[in-house]
């Protein structure tokens, strides 16, 4: 079990793909990644808008891999059911956006979907300790949420080390600025699910970039 949780998985963030041919982009990437990361932005919690459940519904038949949904939204509770119905296999909600985080995670789990809690760069590991205990996975943001293509914040590595030390079996996902330079740092600190947008979609050679992100070559 421990081994399985620590297996490195690469998840492609669709934010950076060519939106004009999103299905082709997924098909061209699917063979080299372990999952597709679906970033939902509401223009309130973050100063940007992206896509919602009807888009996921349309795409979830395209990928043979699972979609993990990252809800960068105020009051994510009202969205959970629609994303489950649209085909999400994992859903993460921001610690900062959930006054009843334990209940929200429980609702996600009750749908038989993996429940994740997300920590912004400014959110302390200590504040979120109880929520992490209850979540299936913790997503540590390595940029401020809202935009792809930002620079990795190395300060979050210390937070990952602390989580890994206290939760040896927890899935730790990292998101933002992951590339061939930062992926090894994240893995060394204890992250095992790596989200990458620009690094994957800004190159035509998806096989090489994904292998390098996994640190295998
Ligand atoms: C940021 C999103 C990320 C983003 C990652 O708000 O949650 O998933 O798309 O993009 P890159 O890999 O370009 O930093
Ligand atoms: Zn994300």
The pLDDT score that the predictor gives to residue 4 is: 47
Contact yes or no for 104/124 (Cβ under 8 A): no
pTM above 0.75, yes or no: yes
CATH class of the domain at 9-214: alpha beta
The 10s digit of each residue's pLDDT in 20-63 is 999 999 999 999 999 999 999 999 999 999 999 999 999 998 88
How many Å apart are CA 8 and CA 184, to the nearest integer?
11
Helix (H) or strand (E) holding 82: helix 80-85
Minimum CA distance residue for ligand 1 atom 4? 148
The 10s digit of each residue's pLDDT in 156-174 is 999 999 999 999 999 999 9
Domain boundaries, the chain: 9-214
Q: Which of 49, 148, 196 to mutate to test the pocket of ligand 1 (most atoms within 8 A of CB)?
A: 148
Nearest atom (ligand 1) to Cα of 176: 14
């Amino acid at each position: 079990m421990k081994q399985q949780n620590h297996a490195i998985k690469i998840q492609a963030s669709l934010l950076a793909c060519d939106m004009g041919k999103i299905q082709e982009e997924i098909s061209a990437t699917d063979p080299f990644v372990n999952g597709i990361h679906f970033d939902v932005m509401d223009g309130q919690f973050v100063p940007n808008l992206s896509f919602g459940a009807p888009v996921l519904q349309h795409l979830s038949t395209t990928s043979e891999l699972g979609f993990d949904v990252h809800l960068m939204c105020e009051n994510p509770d009202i969205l959970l059911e629609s994303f489950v119905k649209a085909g999400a296999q994992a859903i993460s909600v921001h610690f900062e956006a959930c006054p009843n985080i334990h209940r929200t995670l429980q609702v996600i789990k009750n749908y038989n979907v993996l429940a994740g809690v997300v920590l912004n760069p400014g959110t302390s590991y200590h504040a979120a300790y109880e929520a992490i205990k209850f979540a299936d996975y913790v997503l540590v943001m390595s940029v401020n949420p809202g935009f792809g293509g930002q620079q990795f914040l190395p300060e979050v590595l210390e937070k990952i080390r602390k989580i890994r030390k206290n939760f040896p079996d927890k899935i730790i996902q990292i998101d933002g600025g992951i590339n061939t330079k930062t992926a090894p740092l994240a893995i060394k600190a204890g992250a095992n699910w790596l989200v990458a947008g620009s690094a994957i979609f800004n190159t035509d050679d998806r096989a090489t970039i994904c292998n390098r992100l996994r640190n295998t070559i």
